[in-house]
Amino acid sequence: GRRALHVAAVAEAEKTAATTRGGAASVPAPVDIANKLRYLFGRNGDYTNADAYHGTAWSVREKLIDSFNKTHEHWRKEDPKFIYYLSAEFLMGRSLTNTVYNLGLQGEYADALNQMGYEMEKVADAERDAALGNGGLGRLAACFLDSMATLDLPGWGYGIRYKYGMFKQALKNGYQIEQPDIWLTSGNPWEVRRDDVKFEVGFGGRVERRKVNGKEVTVWTPSEKVIAQAYDNPIPGFDTPTTSNLRLWDAMPLTEFDLGAFNAGDYDRAMLDRERAEAISAVLYPNDSTPEGKELRLKQQYFFVCASLQDVLSRFKAVHGTAFESLPDKACFQLNDTHPTIAVAELMRLLVDVEGLDWDQAWTITTKCLNYTNHTVMPEALEKWPVKVMAKMLPRHMEIIEVINEGWTRWLAGHLGDLKSEERAKRIAAMSIIHENPWNKEEMLVNMAYLAVVGSSAVNGVAAIHSNIVKDEILNDFYQIFPSKFQNKTNGVTPRRWLAWCNPELAALITDTLGTSEWINDTEKLAGLRAYASDKSFQAKWSAVKKAKKAKLAALIKKIHGDDVNQEALFDIQIKRIHEYKRQYLNVLSIIWRYKQLKKMSPEERRKAVPRVCVIGGKAASAYDMAKRIIRLVTAVGDVINRDPDTKDLLRLYFLPDYNVSLAETIIPAAELSQHISTAGTEASGTSNMKFQMNGCLIIGTWDGANIEIAEETGVDNVFVFGVRAEEINQLRKERKNFKTDPRWDELMRDIEGGMFGDKDYFKPLVDSVNNMKVGNDWFLLANDFAAYLEAQEEVDACYKDQAEWLRRSIMYTAGSGKFSSDRTIREYAEDIWHVKPSRPSA
Ligand code: F58
Q: Whose CA is nearest to atom 23 of ligand 1?
A: 289
pLDDT of residue 26: 78
Residue of 376, 575, 825 best suited for mutating to test ligand 1, as the one with most atoms within 8 Å of CB:
376
- Which residues have a Cβ under 8 Å from the Cβ of 182 and sit 6 or more positions away? 164
pLDDT over threshold 50, residue 467: yes
| CA–CA distance, 239 with 348 (Å, rounded to integer) | 39
Q: Say if residues 237 and 151 touch (Cβ distance below 8 Å).
A: yes
Mean pLDDT taken over the chain:
95
Which residue in the list 576, 594, 629, 809 is annotated as catalytic?
576
pLDDT, mean of residues 123-147: 98
Which residue in the list 397, 496, 619, 691 is annotated as catalytic?
691
> What ipTM did this prediction achieve?
0.96
Q: How far is the CA of 139 from the centre of ligand 1 (A)?
A: 9
Q: How confident is the model at residue 7 (pLDDT cuts 50, 70, 90)?
A: low
Q: How far is the CA of 631 from the centre of ligand 1 (A)?
A: 20
Which residue in the list 577, 676, 808, 824 is annotated as catalytic?
577
Q: Say if residues 43 and 37 touch (Cβ distance below 8 Å).
A: yes
Which residue in the list 679, 682, 687, 814 is annotated as catalytic?
687
Q: How confident is the model at residue 267 (pLDDT cuts 50, 70, 90)?
A: confident
Which strands, in side-by-side order, build the sheet including 440-447?
A: 384-386, 440-447, 434-437
Q: Residue 801 catalytic?
A: no
Query: Three-class SS of residue 299?
Result: helix
- Name the residue type at position 484: S
- Write down all domains in the chain, each with its CATH number in brackets: 2-78 (no CATH), 84-94+129-194+229-380+451-491+828-834 (3.40.50.2000), 566-803 (3.40.50.2000)
Q: Whose CA is nearest to atom 9 of ligand 1?
A: 686
pLDDT of residue 258: 62
| CA–CA distance, 395 with 217 (Å, rounded to integer) | 15
CB atoms within 10 A of CB 750: 12
pLDDT, mean of residues 697-707: 98
* 356-382 residue pLDDT tens: 999 999 999 999 999 999 999 988 888
Q: Residue 375 catalytic?
A: yes
**Residue 10 or 336, more confident:** 336
For residue 321, with 0-12 CB atoms within 10 Å meaning exposed, 13-18 middle and 19 or more buried, which class applies?
exposed
573 phi/psi in degrees, rounded to 5: -125, 135
| CA–CA distance, 479 with 461 (Å, rounded to integer) | 12
- Name the residue type at position 408: W
- Kindly list the protein residues whose Cβ atom lies closer than 6 A to any atom of ligand 1: 134-137, 140, 287-289, 291, 375-376, 381, 462, 491, 683-687, 705
451 phi/psi in degrees, rounded to 5: -60, -40
Q: How far is the CA of 336 from the centre of ligand 1 (A)?
A: 10
Q: Residue 687 catalytic?
A: yes
Q: How far is the CA of 264 from the centre of ligand 1 (A)?
A: 49
pLDDT of residue 286: 87
pLDDT over threshold 60, residue 432: yes
Q: How far is the CA of 485 from the centre of ligand 1 (A)?
A: 22
| CA–CA distance, 600 with 16 (Å, rounded to integer) | 69
pLDDT of residue 722: 98
Q: Whose CA is nearest to atom 12 of ligand 1?
A: 137
* 647-674 residue pLDDT tens: 999 999 999 999 999 999 999 999 999 9
Degrees, nearest 5: CA angle 161-167-168: 125
DSSP strands (E only) in 538-680: 570-575, 612-617, 651-655, 673-676
Residue of 89, 137, 575, 579 best suited for mutating to test ligand 1, as the one with most atoms within 8 Å of CB:
137
Q: Residue 490 catalytic?
A: no
How do beta strands 570-575 and 612-617 pair?
parallel
Q: How far is the CA of 136 from the centre of ligand 1 (A)?
A: 5
pLDDT of residue 773: 78
Q: How confident is the model at residue 257 (pLDDT cuts 50, 70, 90)?
A: low
pLDDT over threshold 70, residue 12: no
pLDDT over threshold 60, residue 814: yes
Q: How far is the CA of 115 from the centre of ligand 1 (A)?
A: 43
Report the phi/psi class of residue 194: left, alpha or beta, with left for phi > 0 and alpha for psi in -120 to 50: beta
For residue 379, with 0-12 CB atoms within 10 Å meaning exposed, 13-18 middle and 19 or more buried, which class applies?
exposed
* 575-620 residue pLDDT tens: 999 999 999 999 999 999 999 999 999 999 999 999 999 999 999 9
Q: Residue 691 catalytic?
A: yes
DSSP strands (E only) in 593-689: 612-617, 651-655, 673-676
pLDDT over threshold 80, residue 288: no
pLDDT over threshold 60, residue 18: no
Q: Say if residues 798 and 296 touch (Cβ distance below 8 Å).
A: no
Q: Give the 3-state DSSP-derived string for 408-426, with helices as H, strands as E and coil as C.
A: HHHHHHHHCCCCCHHHHHH
What is the pTM (predicted TM-score) of this model?
Answer: 0.96
> Which atom of ligand 1 is the closest one to the Cα of 289?
23
Q: Residue 577 catalytic?
A: yes
> Which atom of ligand 1 is the closest one to the Cα of 381?
22
pLDDT over threshold 80, residue 312: yes
Which residue in the list 582, 583, 629, 824 is annotated as catalytic?
582
> Which atom of ligand 1 is the closest one to the Cα of 134?
17
**Residue 259 or 548, more confident:** 548
pLDDT of residue 11: 56
Element (H, E) at 700: strand 698-701
Residue of 144, 166, 288, 622 best suited for mutating to test ligand 1, as the one with most atoms within 8 Å of CB:
288
Q: How confident is the model at residue 23 (pLDDT cuts 50, 70, 90)?
A: very low
Q: How far is the CA of 829 from the centre of ligand 1 (A)?
A: 18
DSSP strands (E only) in 148-298: 155-160, 168-172, 175-179, 192-203, 206-212, 215-221, 224-236, 243-253
pLDDT of residue 8: 61
pLDDT of residue 10: 52
Q: Rg (Cα) of the chain, in Å, rounded?
A: 28
Q: Give the 3-state DSSP-derived string for 205-223, with helices as H, strands as E and coil as C.
A: CEEEEEEECCEEEEEEECC
Task: Quote the percentage of the chain above a pLDDT of 70.
Answer: 96
Which strands, in side-by-side order, build the sheet including 458-461?
A: 192-203, 224-236, 243-253, 155-160, 82-86, 331-336, 370-373, 458-461, 486-488
* 741-785 residue pLDDT tens: 999 999 999 999 999 999 999 999 999 999 887 777 999 999 999
> Bridge partners of 386?
445
Q: How confident is the model at residue 5 (pLDDT cuts 50, 70, 90)?
A: low
Q: How far is the CA of 287 from the centre of ligand 1 (A)?
A: 10
Q: Say if residues 480 and 415 touch (Cβ distance below 8 Å).
A: no
Residue of 85, 90, 375 best suited for mutating to test ligand 1, as the one with most atoms within 8 Å of CB:
375
pLDDT of residue 6: 56
Degrees, nearest 5: CA angle 225-228-231: 170
